Structure 1
Amino acid sequence: MPRHERWKIILILVILIASVLAIYPPDEKIKLGLDLKGGVHILLQAKGTPDNPITGDSIERLIAVMRNRIDQYGVAEPVIQREGGDRVVVELPGLDDPEAAIELIGKTAMLEFRPVVDVTPAIPREPERQNYDTDEEYQSALKRWQEYRDQSLSLEEELRARSQSDPSFTVARGEDGRIYLLGPAEVTGKHLTDARVAFDNLGRPVVTLKFNREGTNLFDELSSENIGKQVAILLDGAVISAPVVQERISAGEAQISGRFTTDEAQRLAIMLRAGALPVTVEILETRSIGPTLGADSIRSGVKAGLIGAALIFVFIIIYYSAIGLVADISLVMTILLLLAGLASFKATLTLPGIAGIILTIGMSVDGNILIYERIKEELRSGKTVMASVDAGFRKAFITIIDANLTTLFAAVFLFYYGTGPIRGFAVTLSIGILASVFCAVFVTRVLLRILISKRKKLLFPAFKERS
Structure 2
Amino acid sequence: ARPDGSIAVTLSGEAMKARAHEALSQSVEIVRRRIDATGAVDPQISVSGPDRIVVNLPGISDPERVKALLGTTAKMTFRLLDPNASPNAPPPPGVTLLPMQDNPNEKLPVRDHVDVDGGDLTNAQAGQDGQTGQWAVNFTFDNAGAREFADVTRANLGKRFAIVLDNKVISAPVIQGVIPSGSGQITGSFTAQSATDLALLLRAGALPAPLAVIEQRSIGPELGADSIRAGAISLGVGLVLVMVFMVLFYGLFGLYADFALVLNLVLMLGILSLFEATLTLPGMAGMLLTLGMAVDANILINERIREEVKRGRTALAAMQAGFERATGTIIDSNATALLAHVMLFVFGSGPVKGFALTITIGIVTTLFTTLFVSKMLMVGWYAAKRPKTLPV
Q: TM-score, normalised by structure 2?
A: 0.84
For the residue of structure 2 that corresponds to 1:81, the secondary structure is strand
Say whether residues 1:170 and 2:96 are aligned partners.
Answer: yes
More displaced stretch, 397-406 vs 327-336: 397-406
User: Counterpart of 1:56?
Assistant: 21
Say whether residues 1:196 and 2:122 are aligned partners.
Answer: no
2:230 aligned residue (291, 300, 308): 300
Native 8 Å contact 1:376 1:462 kept in 2 = no
Say whether residues 1:240 and 2:173 are aligned partners.
Answer: no
1:369 aligned residue (299, 308, 333): 299
User: Counterpart of 1:114?
Assistant: 79
User: Counterpart of 1:100?
Assistant: 65
Offset of residue 275 of structure 1:
0.9
Matches of 1:422 and 1:299 in 2, distance apart? 21
Native 8 Å contact 2:43 2:351 kept in 1 = no
Matches within 5 A, 1:57-456: 57-118=22-83, 155-156=88-89, 158-159=90-91, 162=92, 165-166=93-94, 169-175=95-101, 176=103, 177-183=105-111, 184-200=113-129, 201-291=131-221, 294-317=224-247, 319-339=249-269, 342=272, 348-397=278-327, 399-401=329-331, 404=334, 420-455=350-385
Distance 1:253 1:417, change over 3 A: closer
Distance 1:402 1:261, change over 3 A: closer
| Structure ID, larger Rg | 1
For the residue of structure 2 that corresponds to 1:349, the secondary structure is coil
Native 8 Å contact 1:81 1:90 kept in 2 = yes
- Give unmatched runs, 5+ long, in structure 2: 1-9
* Aligned-partner residue type, residue 283 of structure 1: V
Matches of 1:418 and 1:194 in 2, distance apart? 20
Q: How well do the aligned residues superpose, as a CA RMSD in angstroms? A: 3.1
Matches of 2:118 and 2:126 in 1, distance apart? 16
Native 8 Å contact 2:162 2:173 kept in 1 = yes
Offset of residue 223 of structure 1:
2.2
Offset of residue 173 of structure 1:
1.6
* Aligned-partner residue type, residue 162 of structure 2: A
Native 8 Å contact 1:316 1:325 kept in 2 = yes
* Aligned-partner residue type, residue 229 of structure 2: R
Cα deviation, 1:113-150, whole Å, max 9, x if unaligned, reads 111115988xxxxxxxxxxxxxxxxxxxxxxxxxxxxx
Distance 1:82 1:450, change over 3 A: same
Distance 1:186 1:343, change over 3 A: farther
Matches of 2:282 and 2:141 in 1, distance apart? 41
Offset of residue 63 of structure 1:
0.7
More displaced stretch, 318-327 vs 59-68: 318-327
Offset of residue 219 of structure 1:
1.7
Offset of residue 237 of structure 1:
0.7
For the residue of structure 2 that corresponds to 1:286, the secondary structure is coil
Matches of 2:160 and 2:342 in 1, distance apart? 50
* Aligned-partner residue type, residue 240 of structure 1: I
Matches of 1:411 and 1:198 in 2, distance apart? 30
Cα deviation, 1:188-235, whole Å, max 9, x if unaligned, reads 211211111111223211001111222222222222333333211110
Cα deviation, 1:171-199, whole Å, max 9, x if unaligned, reads 31223222222122111211211111111
For the residue of structure 1 that corresponds to 2:57, the secondary structure is strand
Offset of residue 78 of structure 1:
1.1
Distance 1:243 1:364, change over 3 A: same
For the residue of structure 1 that corresponds to 2:162, the secondary structure is strand
More displaced stretch, 428-437 vs 280-289: 428-437
Matches of 2:117 and 2:340 in 1, distance apart? 42
* Aligned-partner residue type, residue 113 of structure 1: F
Matches of 2:84 and 2:378 in 1, distance apart? 79
Q: Percent identity?
A: 41
Offset of residue 351 of structure 1:
0.9
